[in-house]
Amino acid sequence: MLPDTELTFSQFTEWYEPTLWEPSRVRSSNPPEYPYNEAFESDLPPKVCNYPLNQEILDFAAYERYGRTGQLSNPGLITPKLDVPDILKSVLGPWYGYKYRDNGNTSASGMISFTLKPQEGASVVKAFKASSRSNQVEFTIIGTCEEREGNTEVSFKRNLPSSYPSEYWKGEFDLLKQVITGTVAYEENGGEDRLFPFTFYLCRTTPEILRFRPTPADFEERKTESLWKYAIEAIVAQIQRDSWSWSYFRKRRDTRRRFLELWMRRTCGGTPLTPEEQEELTSIRHSLTAQDGRFYHSIAARRIRNTIVHG
């Protein structure tokens, strides 16, 4: 074993003397004995293995509640007939959407999905809750909805693991369009000094269609062109998927491989991503359904665990 110090040339040659570690020489040595008292040792940690052998790394559960179209397999079970106010009942159920940065130009983290349920026992009657996963991050939601000046305001706190700050989402619910839009901040009051403000868009549109939706900035700059592109891409993809076209599966395969390649380089080092590749990675993440995003990130997590990083 190389000593953890700098060596002179003479020390180096002595250390690597071929006969230094011969068995006969080692046996004839008389190493000192050091006293050992177990009482002074700290207790073993309750969890020795970081990755238990029986733990499933790949997130197959992402697809369990969804059919081929990406819709919930039984949405009726999500919004049961409960004695809750109509305003609360109108916002319960599945939601899908995006969090945007750069004034709506860029998706911040890919598609997000969750299912709102009434919060039993809450002091506020119009309270809801949810728990879900985005990519590899578990999160919970607690919020309320209120009618103010003819508008329905929806606000909730998104609690993430301790390594991430909590997020405060606040927006307006359009009952006719079944859309919630608003802003996201890291401070509850949403003041001018909040950090990294975002906007968000949530809707009932299925993930397989929503993934083609242009960003809010694209809609604002060229609405007609964006709407046509949105419709054409969604219809073509649906036809290819329903006909089990090889081009559909080939594109899914190529997208998955490219995402894993770029994400591994971004996460584990290697050749840094160019600005064009970073933009491509953002575009790929935006094009994934919430289910694919979860599963692909779990594939990447398994590869990262098996990757030896030198440094």
Per-position DSSP letters for 74-87, written without gaps between them: -GGGTS---S--HH
Give the Cα separation of 283 and 107 in Å (integer).
8
Q: Quote the distance between the C-alpha of residue 165 and its chain's center.
A: 14
DSSP 63: G
For 251-264, what is each residue's pLDDT tens digit? Answer: 999 999 999 999 99
pLDDT at 235: 95
Question: If you count them, how many residues does the chain have?
Answer: 311
Low-confidence ranges of the chain (pLDDT < 50): 1, 68-70, 72-78, 193
**pLDDT of 239:** 94
pLDDT recorded at residue 74 = 45
Number of H helices, E strands in the chain: 9, 9
* Cα(292)–Cα(63) distance, integer angstroms: 8
Q: Beta-carbon neighbour count of residue 110 at 10 Å?
A: 23
* pTM, entire model: 0.76
What is the number of alpha carbons within 13 Å of residue 164 lying toward its C-beta? 14
Give the integer Cα–Cα distance in Å for 10 and 21.
17
For the stretch 79-85, contacts whose Cβ atoms lie closer than 8 Å and that sit 24 or more positions apart, written own/partner, are 82/118, 84/118, 84/125, 84/126, 85/125, 85/126
What's the pLDDT score for residue 14? 64
Model pLDDT, residue 252: 95
Residue 190 is predicted with a pLDDT of 53
Spell out the long-range contacts of 191-198 with Cβ–Cβ below 8 A and sequence spacing 24 or more. Answer: 195/165, 196/101, 198/99, 198/100, 198/101, 198/108
Angstrom distance (rounded) from CA 238 to CA 257: 22
SS3 135: coil
Give the CATH fold of the 60-305 domain.
Lipocalin (2.40.128)
Domain ranges for the chain, please list them.
60-305
> In the prediction, which pLDDT does 47 show?
59
How do residues 77-87 score in pLDDT, each as one tens digit? Answer: 445 556 778 88
How far is Cα 103 from Cα 217, in angstroms, rounded to an integer? 7
